[in-house]
């Protein structure tokens, strides 16, 4: 069982570069989300999606774009990377849009450094 797969695991960017963090799940989950994890800050929600074609902003959306063209995939795009976006990024998915009641499954994370 693959579960939630994130690629790449590590990435180094220069300020101003763009990149896409990939997230795919094979559990037919409706709900997918992106979090960032910073030391002493816990996990903070960036964007989420309750189904294909539907996305919305979380707590810290600035500087990030998302789209959900299929149920399986939920890529996170950094259009112009900034050092403040240096973080560990986690993708998560759960069975339905009642996200608070359903178990969220997390990917292994992408560690991003912006120089």
Which stretches of the chain bind another protein, using CB under 8 A?
4, 31, 33, 35, 40-45, 48, 50, 56, 58, 90, 92, 97-101, 103-104, 106-109
3-state secondary structure of 67: coil
State the Cα–Cα distance between residues 20 and 41, nearest whole angstrom.
23
Measured from the CB atom, the residue of 17 and 52 that comes closer to another protein is 52
Long-range Cβ pairs for the range 55-62 (8 Å, 24+): 58/33, 58/34, 60/36
Give the nearest distance from C-beta 17 to another protein in angstroms.
25
Give the nearest distance from C-beta 104 to another protein in angstroms.
7
Give the nearest distance from C-beta 30 to another protein in angstroms.
10
Q: What's the distance, Cα to Cα, between the start and end of the chain in Å? A: 36
Instruction: Copy the structure tokens of residue 33.
Output: 């989300």
Measured from the CB atom, the residue of 18 and 57 that comes closer to another protein is 57
């Amino acid at each position: 069982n693959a579960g939630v797969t994130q690629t790449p695991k590590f990435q180094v960017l220069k300020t101003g570069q763009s990149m896409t963090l990939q997230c795919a799940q094979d559990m037919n989950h409706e709900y997918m989300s992106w979090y960032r994890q910073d030391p002493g800050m816990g996990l903070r929600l960036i964007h989420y999606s309750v189904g294909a074609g539907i996305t919305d902003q979380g707590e810290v959306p600035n500087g990030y774009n998302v789209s959900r063209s299929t149920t399986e995939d939920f890529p996170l795009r950094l259009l112009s990377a900034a050092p403040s976006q240096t973080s560990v990024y986690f993708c998560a998915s759960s069975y339905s849009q009642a996200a608070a009641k359903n178990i969220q499954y997390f990917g292994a994370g992408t560690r991003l450094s912006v120089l």
